[in-house]
Structure formats: C-alpha cells, structure tokens
Amino acid sequence: MVNSRHSQTGVIATGLLLLAFATSTARTQDKPPAPPSRIDPEAQALFDNTIQALGGQAFLQAKSLTTRGRLFAIAEGVTAGFAPFESTVEFPDKRRFSYGKDKPVILVNNGERGWQLDRYGVIRQKPEQIRRWRIAARYGYESLLRQLLHEPGLLVQDGGKDFVDNLPARVVEITDARQVQVKFFVHAVKFLPIRVTYRLLNPDTQEWEEYAEVYGDYRNSQGVQTPMHLTRFLDGDRYSEVFRNFAEYNAEHPANYFTPGG
C-alpha cells in the first residue's frame, strides 16, 4: 500500500509539472515576437541625412551628454520660476539632474528607479515622475535615432512636408510596437531635428496626453550638433524651457553616479 501511495503521488506530481510546463508554453506562444519593422525608403533616407547632419558617427557613438544652463518653469503661459541647472544623461535612460543655487535639488534616474535628494535627505520619486522621465528619454530625438529605430515592430512612413515653428520641415510618422504614435519633424534643408511629438494614454487617468519637444539654437560640440534651446509642451501648453550654455559629450563620472550615493 505504501508503494502504491508513493506511486500515485509521483504520478500526480509529474502531471502537475507537465500541466505547468504546458501552460507556460501556451502563454509564451500567445505572445508572438514583434513583426519586422516596415520603414518607408523615403523616411529611411531622411533619417540617414539627419544622423549625418547631427555629426554622423560622432553622434551615434556618444554615450553621455553633460549640460549646464538655466531652466524656466512655466504655468498658464507665465514663467513661474527659473533656476540654474546641471544635467548628465547617460543614454538611453540614466540621468543626474540638479537645479537651484545654494542647496540644489538633485533628481537621479536609473531605468525604472528614481530618487530625489534635497536638504532633507533622500526620497523615492513618485511613479508619475519616473514615468514622465522614461517617456522623455525614450521618445526624444537622441534615443529615437539611436535606439528606437532599431526595435522590431515599427511602422515608419513618410509624412510629407510641413511648416513647423516658422521653419520648412519634413515629417516622418512612426508607430512603435507599443502602438505609440510619434511625429518627427526635421528641417527641410539642414535636416536637423525641429520637433518631436508623441501621444500616450495615462495609465492612472485613462486620458490621452500629447507631448512635444522643440529644439533650436544648434551649436557644434565635439563634432555633434547640439540644441542649446529646448521647449517642452504637454497637451499644447508650454511647461518648461531650457537654455543651455555648456554641452560636453562622454565626460567622465563615477561608477555610482546614477545612484543616490553618487
């Protein structure tokens, strides 16, 4: 009887393992890999021209960007405050950003993690802060040209010509594997990025949000054309404006720079 019970137990355990394996396999098969990207040849040619205009290999091989300048916060169309800032971004999704004079506030982001350091100590960033940083890091022109265009599942189409921010522009329309729709505007003659817009669903409010970044005042820094003036919009309202007076690529920083103790 004992052997019989052990045998029955073994059969049941084996059956449960096989069921778990089959369920896991079925779930894996339910999520097929993203299809190959479809990129219009005219759009690909425009990307190639834009990368060359930005500096070619010098742009593509840049690992980090350190900038300094002034940040203006805007509310209801009026400047609500301004502060000096220093920012180091390590592509694609790490940053250390400080703003303020005497006792600056420091924001540190490393992928899905984020912290705020101020005179009172260290606290975790709110999920919405981290979400917005990751969105900006993913869909800004730097990550768009370096990383996003190499992901599977893209649909990229030539959007024709337009007149944007008082400049003649060529437009590329992108839908990524997450079904986020992006419009990328570049100067029709200089091929430098002018504006990026993208539309996402806010997971908390279940409302659509329209983001835009506008780039201007390009200057050469170590062979890379770098925008020194950036303006950001949310749902058509301007909420921040950045004026850079310094830009350096691939500056050295400590190994723990993107942690609270860095």
Residue given tokens 């506008």 in the structure block: 214
Find the mean pLDDT for residues 127-137. Answer: 94
Please give the pLDDT value at position 98.
94
Find the mean pLDDT for residues 178-193. Answer: 97
Among 214, 243, 238, 226, which Cα is nearest to 71's?
243
pLDDT band at 250 (very low <50, low <70, confident <90, very high): very high
Please give the pLDDT value at position 37.
86
Please give the pLDDT value at position 102.
82
Residue 81 pLDDT more than 90? no
Please give the pLDDT value at position 73.
85
pLDDT band at 261 (very low <50, low <70, confident <90, very high): confident
What phi and psi, each to the nearest 5 degrees, are found at residue 182? -125, 140
Q: What is the pTM of this model?
A: 0.83
The strand ranges marked E within 165-258 are: 167-175, 181-187, 193-201, 208-221, 224-234, 237-249
Find the mean pLDDT for residues 142-159. Answer: 95
Scored b (16 or more CB within 10 A) or e, 224-252 reads bbbbbebbbbeeeebeebbebeebebeee
pLDDT band at 24 (very low <50, low <70, confident <90, very high): very low
Q: What amino acid occupies position 261?
A: G
What phi and psi, each to the nearest 5 degrees, are found at residue 28? -65, -40
Among 152, 155, 131, 170, which Cα is nearest to 46's?
170
Please give the pLDDT value at position 34.
72
Q: Where are the domains of the chain?
A: 1-32, 34-85+134-249
- 22-26, 140-144, 187-191, 223-227: segment of lowest average pLDDT: 22-26
Please give the pLDDT value at position 185.
98
Find the mean pLDDT for residues 217-244. Answer: 96
CA distance linking residue 209 with residue 36, whole number of Å: 28
CA distance linking residue 52 with residue 134, whole number of Å: 26
CA distance linking residue 191 with residue 52, whole number of Å: 9
Comparing 260 with 174, the larger pLDDT belongs to: 174
Please give the pLDDT value at position 101.
86
Over residues 163-176, the pLDDT tens digits come to 998 999 999 999 99
pLDDT band at 122 (very low <50, low <70, confident <90, very high): very high
pLDDT band at 13 (very low <50, low <70, confident <90, very high): very low
CA distance linking residue 65 with residue 225, whole number of Å: 12
